[in-house]
Amino acid sequence: MKAKASRRASKASVSAAAPVRQGIEFERRESPTPPTYAGHAASFFHRVAEGAIDLVTPSGNIHLGAGALILTPGGVPYRLVTGRGGWSVIDTLRVRASAFALSVPADADAWWVLMDLKRRALLCGPQLAFEPSTGECIAELFTRMHGAAARPLAQRRMRLKAATFELLAVLGPDPVLVESPPTAAAAPPLPARLRALLWHMETHFTDDCAVPRLADRMGLKPSQFHALFKHHTGQTPNQYLMRLRIGHACRLLTETDIGVLEVADACGYHSLSQFYAGFRKVMCCTPGDLRRRMPDS
């Protein structure tokens, strides 16, 4: 009995000591051996403050110099390897979905921008391109985030959220729409056929996108296609498709007054129960809940 009580007390102390994960977190790492990120669900912005690093992913490697900014959309394991100089300073901003309250218009706008940036990163590569003047603004924002780390918890959270929203405003003032397949020169070393298929799913997600049909477009067996897709994206084809459809549904629910049944049909769902199940899985609420939370425009 004493041994069991001791084990329970030990578990309780470990649980109490475990850090509480915040919606937005910042870390500056000065190390010759940057960490490995094993397919986290959160989105990571990494900025090379000093030195150089190599981004190592299942699709290939990308060399990044000082000032470079990348966005890893989550799900895919990757490593950051220090460049030839043997030292680097990397600023990392971790953003979780819990950082956004979709009932608040500014939060909803920021969430849409992040979703679009994540899709662009998957389709066109993780490195974000911007003008030199924008790079200076981004550097200042990351400096502010680093300074916020020394603040009390409440102040740190507010300052990090403010800087993160400003970063999203700088990177994507308008939704990023994919209008044509990314070119091989601009894309990461992702298999060309898979890159073209992702673009097809982005622009035809209301069509029949069953795994056998998608696999046939790539000339693969369904099992081979499933494994290849998850290896490079960190998601199954059905998970990727569901997020595309539910993201579009959120826009229709918050920007129009059409009924839920029409929204489901416009997103490629011909079963209302499947639409509700997918919506709950992605958004953790019902379509009606999301619409009721939005303030009247």
The DSSP code sequence of 226-270 is HHHHHHHHSS-HHHHHHHHHHHHHHHHHHH----HHHHHHHTT-S
Q: What is the pTM (predicted TM-score) of this model? A: 0.74
Write the pLDDT tens digit of every residue in 83-118.
666 778 999 999 987 788 766 778 878 888 888 888
Mean pLDDT, rounded, for 230-249 = 87
Residue 244 has pLDDT above 80, yes or no: yes
Contact 235, 226 (CB under 8 A): no
Integer CA distances (angstroms), 225 to 58, 59, 197, 228, 229, in order = 15, 15, 11, 5, 6
Say what the pLDDT of residue 255 is.
84
Rounded Cα distance between 277 and 275, Å, is 5
DSSP-based three-state secondary structure for 109: helix
pLDDT tens digit sequence for 150-188: 899 899 999 999 999 999 999 885 544 334 444 444 445
Domain boundaries of the chain, sorted by first residue: 23-171, 192-293
Pick the CATH number of 192-293 from 2.60.40.720, 1.10.10.60, 3.30.230.10, 3.40.50.970: 1.10.10.60
**In the prediction, which pLDDT does 19 show?**
40
Of 290, 282, 71, 39, nearest to 168 by C-alpha is: 71
Determine what percent of the chain is predicted with pLDDT higher than 70.
80
Q: How many whole angstroms separate alpha carbon 273 and alpha carbon 133?
A: 49
> Which pairing describes strands 43-51 and 36-37: parallel, antiparallel, or unpaired?
unpaired
CB-CB contact of 38 with 58 (8 Å): no
Domain 23-171 indexed as CATH 3.40.50.2300:
no
The DSSP bridge pattern shows strands 24-30 and 36-37 to be unpaired
